Chain A
Amino acid sequence: MYGLFLRHFYLITRSFPRVLDLVYWPTIQITLWGFISNFFATHTTYYNNAVGVILTCAILYDFLFRTSIGFNMLFLEEIWSRNFTNLFIAPMKIGEILTSLVATALIRALIGLIPAVLLTSPLFGISILDLGIFLFFLFLSLYLFGITLGILVSAGLLRYGPSFENIAWSTMFLLAPFGCIYYPIEILPEVFQKIAYLLPLVYIFEEARNILINQTVDIQNIYYAFMWNGVYFVLSILLFYYSFNVAKNKGTLINMGE
Chain B
Amino acid sequence: MKNLVEVKNIKKNYGKNEAVKGISFNIKEDEILGLLGPNGSGKTTTIGMLLGLLKPTSGEILINGQKLEGNRIEILEQINFISPYIELPKKLTVKQNLTVYGKLYKINNINERIEFLSEKLRLEDLLNSITGELSSGQKNRVSLAKALINEPKVLLLDEPTASLDPEVGDFVRSFLEDYKKEKKISILLASHNMNEVTRLCKSILMMKDGIIIDEGNPKELINKHGRKNLEEVFLKLSRSKNELN
Which A residues fall within an 8 A CB radius of B? 2-4, 6-7, 10-11, 14-15, 77, 81-93, 245, 248-251, 253-254, 257-258
Contacts and interface: CB of A to CB of B under 8 A. Distances in A.
Contacts of B89: 7, 11, 77, 81, 83
Contacts of A85: 53, 81, 83, 86
Contacts of B54: 248-249, 251, 253-254
A91 B101 CA distance: 10
A11 B91 contact: yes
B100 A248 contact: no
Contacts of B100: 3-4, 6-7, 10
A257 B90 CA distance: 15
A91 B81 CA distance: 13
Q: Which secondary structure dominates where chain A touches chain B?
A: helix
B187 to A, nearest CB: 16
Interface in B38-56: 44-45, 48, 51-55
A86 B86 contact: yes
Interface of B: 14, 44-45, 48, 51-55, 73-74, 76-77, 79-81, 83, 85-93, 96, 99-106, 130, 146
Q: Which secondary structure dominates where chain B touches chain A?
A: mixed
Nearest to A97: B104
28 contacts: A2-B103, A3-B99, A3-B103, A7-B96, A10-B96, A14-B93, A15-B91, A81-B88, A81-B91, A82-B86, A83-B86, A83-B87, A84-B86, A86-B101, A86-B146, A89-B52, A90-B76, A91-B74, A91-B104, A91-B105, A91-B106, A93-B73, A248-B53, A248-B54, A249-B55, A251-B14, A254-B44, A254-B48
A216 to B, nearest CB: 48
Contacts of A82: 85-87
Nearest to A93: B73
Nearest to B75: A91
Contact of A3 (B76, B77, B102): B102
A122 to B, nearest CB: 34
